Structure 1
């Protein structure tokens, strides 16, 4: 689907000054990948061709990371972790934007004519509110990560609890009595 809007009117030099034409510019609807600290690797499924097939639009903007100092302060990230995040981002083809996540994403969506937004799945509850906010701004696709480990069978969790039931009194006692 083509979307057009009038940008400006330009006179045609060979015609009279009273005649003018409209310069029509095609607005390309774009896709945007928003990264967060739980998906800082190029092998993440968000960069796969399978993800790109989820959208009808062929224009993909450069992935973005929003550096929100308030978010990092609330998360309690240490200086070393922030350095690690920044150094990892510097090795990736990502634009880093500084500011409040909600404000920056609204500006990006408006400025770049974004219609589809792709965000990696995260277990981080602080990012859930941001993802919920973004989902109200446009079509949002949450991309699951590959499993870190695939187990052939369900682990026997009862084994740990049998052990814990034997040692919990000693482990939780103030003097640390050993069994």
Structure 2
């Protein structure tokens, strides 16, 4: 029997994301990634925006090592699988590899917000939006 949890990350914070659509009753987790916050020097403004998005979702919020927290949540929930959305983040594959040591990971493609094949700097939303808005409107 399929009994997944959903791992939410910063590249798919929507209740319409593929993991929620595929498993609407599954418990979900978000983990504040301490290493990423330090590496990218995320601003308080961006973290508040993310937190406000999270408050609108049925999600457990934790902080620390992402893979370890996702695995712990899966075990606590009695889950036999972790479901998440694709991410272009360089850390994403490493985190998935670590989770796979304990649980299978299903990575679902999100519906693209824009169709663009060029490079976009994902560290700052404003840089992303300058490119994306040309394709949205």
* TM-score of Structure 1 vs Structure 2, range by shorter chain: 0.7 to 0.9
Q: How does 1:3-152 map to 2 (within 5 A)?
A: 30-48=3-21, 51-52=22-23, 60-149=25-114
Pair 1:76–1:128, CA change in 2 (3 A): farther
Distance 1:69 1:150 in 2: 31
Question: Of the two, which has the highest radius of gyration?
Answer: 1
Q: Which one has a larger percent strand, Structure 1 or Structure 2?
A: 1
Q: Work out whether residues 4 and 79 of structure 2, in 8 Å CA contact, stay in contact via their aligned partners in 1.
A: yes
Distance 1:149 1:98 in 2: 30
What SS does structure 2 have at the residue aligned with 1:39?
Answer: coil
Q: Deviations over 1:47-79 (max 9, x none)?
A: 21xx24xxxxxx944211012323211233111
Normalised by the size of structure 2, how large is the TM-score? 0.74
Gaps of 5+ in 1: 2-28, 53-58, 158-179
How many residues are aligned here?
118
Cα deviation, residue 96, structure 1 = 0.4
Pair 1:90–1:46, CA change in 2 (3 A): same
RMSD: 2.4
